[in-house]
Structure 1
Amino acid sequence: MSKLLLLGSGELGKEICISAKRLGCTVVACDSYPDAPAMQVADSNYVFDMLDSDKLKHVITVTNPDYIVPEIEAIRTEELLAQELLGKVVVPNAKAVNLTMNRDKIRDHASSLGLKTAKYNYATTELELEKAVGGIGFPCIVKPVMSSSGKGQSMIHDEKEIQNAWITAVKGMRGDRQKVIVEQFIEFDYEITLLTIRQHNGPTLFCQSIGHVQQGGDYRWSWQPAHIVPKTGAHPIEQEARRVAKIITDDLGGAGLFGVEFFVLNGEVIFSELSPRPHDTGMVTLYTQAQNEFDLHVRALLGLPIPSIKLIRPGASHVILAEHDADDFKISGLNEALAEPDVDVRIFGKHQARPNRRMGVILAPNVDKAKQAARKIKIKPSI
């Protein structure tokens, strides 16, 4: 029986844990706060700051896992590099985790491989940000090099907005790197995520691409398939996305699922970001695929066979967001949402609500039905 040490216990970690438990694994879930979603289904848990190298090393030592499975960005990745040298298995590997936990490292790496990206620059002070913005031009996007769920991200339209963008980025940073990336704003036609699976003993596999919409830098809804695949073969956008995804994931190496994000503009595929783990937009696969993204990640890291990836039906997902700060809240509208045919609801089990925090997800046959169901569910402070 394999033991997984899950570093990060949010909604994605919860589904990884469920998939692993179904295959007989023992799961130890870790996060910085108690009773996080994955902890509710894991065998045991630890609460600590994963940016603290000594504490991370201690937990790895006392748990002695077969696999270390990162699920969030705020991890002292240098310790994972050290642990890998000592023989520990990091998923997909420590190099991939270290590069992708930092937007600057993965963007530079993608550029070094010749992948097309938006123009970008970096800044570590407000003065440097002014210079970086001048080199990119307006409008542009400012993001911390380490953050999640759109935190710290803003769009700058003129010089007056630079100071606020810097303040927003600093407040939204995760970890201890005070650095931002400034990106050219691309008026893309749409965005896609390509779930890419590297195996220990087998070819690289791909799920059908997932279309998604972000607001405030964070995913709001997604759908799969993103493209109608012609009977004559793969969609040309799909083919190019697969080519690019294979280049960068082959270079990173290891085994597991990668979420590779692209902008699509006038039929051209532009690399955006990459996560070496299941992707939030991929929650739609809980509805659409015979093996969802979490099942595929666990199979790949364990070296189990993946004979094929089957889309069993089209579908969509839509997040359920909190609107208020609340330690004690009620969720209403479940009856109304679930009364709709072919609609499912997943509540994540987070015990604290705050504005725009993801508290659950709707799974439905299409985007319209997912949106309608999401509107029916409300998360309100208890009175």
Structure 2
Amino acid sequence: MSESTERPSTTVLLLGSGDTGPELALAFERLGVAAVRVDECADADAMTALLDEHQPDYVVAVSHEVSPAVLIAAAERESVEVFPTPRATRLGADREGLRKLAGDELGLPTVPFWFASSAEELAAVADHAGFPLVVTPLFGTVTDGQSVVTRADDVDAAWQLAAAALPTPPNRVMAETVVEVDEEVTLLTVRTTEPSGPAVQFCEPIGYRRSDGQPLETWQPQRLSLAALDAARSIAARIVHSLGGRGVFAVELAVHGDEVYFTTVDAQPSDVGLVTLRSQRLSQYELHARAILGLSLDTIMISPAAARTGARRDVPAGALKEALEVPESDVRLLATTSAAIATAPDVVRARDRAHRVSAVVHGLGS
């Protein structure tokens, strides 16, 4: 009997490296979709060649390395749907454009912000706004080149640090007023298309804490007041509908009492959302795949959970045995990340269990 050469009914092309690609490929494959992973796609010509070779139904960017130009080239082919939308990808890499969309066009609550193209302009902003100020490069990861300016003498150093983190000129930074914040929250928001039009569903809020040199700590749910939760969902829905497309959007928010400020949005699964591998019936990767394919989904949380994620490291068998002796614990070794995850009847105990697992997995003291 000869081997079948029949093309799979549905094919998705996943662009970009990192942890999301392998996890998302599994989510698609479990739904009967052929997933083709491509770590690099240099330009529009390379994209055209990939489309001709694989003839995908969907092209999905899974990392920030994928340029909007590549996605635009894919979107020009009528038979292909592209996610995130090229517009969402472009704005996700442009803090100035995204903040102007949120604050100026949509009227979302944000902390006061300004932009500067030189140390002199930054000094003028500081003189007008006062101190302290958070200074952030407009491109690259949030933490690279970011600093807090507390006095006029710090302005030049902050400018130099931010400028050094930018990949190419022109140098430009964002300065924000420091406001009192109780919690930093990620609200995973799933945008779908229903017969009646676009719709969104929300996961339970995820709290997180980032510290230099330490694993990222996340937990779900992060309790918010009803007023804050309503505000968070309203903000998330408005920014996600503006960006368009289908899938999971990680909307980052700052919360102080009942007040909620928009921070940023990522139009794809995020490192903060790794906790959903254990906390939800459908993980962020399964939600993303289902939304893109137009399938039914739910955002049901099945247990409070916590996770601590850091740079990937191999875990010796003895250490793995010790880590998994913690009740309701799990260890995930992804492409670039090691994740210690635990569930419990409440978030406090889940965080404690994840911390104990992480102490073994990431080689840190308790």
TM-score, normalized by length of structure 1?
A: 0.81
Change (3 A) 1:126 1:4: farther
Q: CA, structure 1 residues 21+116, in 2 after alignment: closer, same or farther (shift >3 Å)?
A: same
Indicate if the aligned counterparts of 2:135 and 2:162 stay in contact, CA closer than 8 A: yes
Contact map agreement 2:47 2:74 (CA 8 A) in 1: no
Residue segments in structure 2 that go unaligned for 5+ positions in a row: 1-8, 344-349
Whose radius of gyration is greater, 1 or 2? 2
- Of 72, 78, 81, 1:89 maps to 81
Quote the residue 2:309 is aligned against.
319
Q: Of 148, 154, 165, which residue of structure 1 is paired with 2:147?
A: 154
**Residue 30 (str. 1) matches residue 38 (str. 2):** yes
**Comparing 366-375 and 210-219, the one that deviates more:** 210-219
Equivalents in 1 of 2:130, 2:47: separation in Å? Answer: 41
User: Shift of residue 347 of structure 1?
Assistant: 1.3
CA distance in 1, matches of 2:362, 2:273: 23
Instruction: Write out aligned runs for 1:48-127 (5 A).
Output: 50=42, 52-87=43-78, 88-111=80-103, 112-127=105-120
Residues 176 and 29 of structure 1: is their aligned pair in 2 closer, same or farther, counting only changes over 3 Å? farther
Name the CA distance, whole Å, in 2 between partners of 1:258 and 1:76.
Answer: 18
Q: Structure 1, residues 225-248: CA drift from partner, whole Å, max 9, x if none?
A: 11178xxxxx33222211121112
From 358, 361, 366, give the equivalent of 1:374: 358
Q: How does 1:8-27 map to 2 (within 5 A)?
A: 8-27=16-35
- Aligned partner of 2:355: which letter? K
Q: Quick check: 1:204 aligned with 2:200?
A: yes
Question: Do the aligned partners of 1:192 and 1:262 also contact (CA within 8 Å) in 2?
Answer: yes
SS in 1 for 2:222: coil
Q: Tell me how far apart the structure 2 counterparts of residues 176 and 99 of structure 1 sit (CA, whole Å).
A: 18
Residue in structure 1 matched with residue 322 of structure 2 by the alignment: 336
Query: Aligned AA for 1:172?
Result: A
Among 340, 346, 361, the alignment partner of 1:362 is 340
CA apart distance, 1:18 = 1.6
Tell me which amino acid in the other structure corresponds to 1:249.
V
Q: How does 1:166-181 map to 2 (within 5 A)?
A: 166-173=159-166, 178-181=171-174
Amino acid at match of 1:266: G
TM-score (norm 2): 0.84
Q: Match of 1:64, as an amino acid?
A: Q
Give, as a single letter, the amino acid of the residue that structure 1 aligns with 2:192.
Q
Answer whether contact 1:53 1:76 (CA < 8 A) is retained.
no
- Give 1:261's aligned amino acid: E
| Cross-structure match for 2:278 | 287
Q: Root-mean-square deviation (CA), in Å?
A: 2.7
CA gap of 1:141–1:60, structure 2 versus 1, over 3 A, is farther
TM-aligned CA deviation for residue 89 of structure 1: 1.6
Give the secondary-structure state (helix, strand or coil) at the position aligned to 1:191.
Answer: strand
Unmatched tracts of structure 1, length 5 or more: 32-46, 230-234, 323-328, 351-358
Closer/same/farther in 2, CA of residues 24 and 150 from structure 1, 3 Å limit: farther
How far the C-alpha of 1:262 sits from its partner, in A, is 0.7
Secondary structure of 2:308 counterpart? strand
CA 1:241–1:330: 2 relative to 1, 3 Å: closer
- What is the Cα deviation at residue 277 of structure 1? 0.8
Q: Which residue of 1 aligns with 2:3?
A: none
After the TM superposition, which of the residue ranges 97-106 and 337-346 deviates more from structure 2? 97-106
Does structure 1 residue 253 correspond to structure 2 residue 244?
A: yes
1:127 shift after superposition: 3.3
Change in Cα spacing, 1:167 to 1:8, as seen in structure 2 (3 Å) is farther
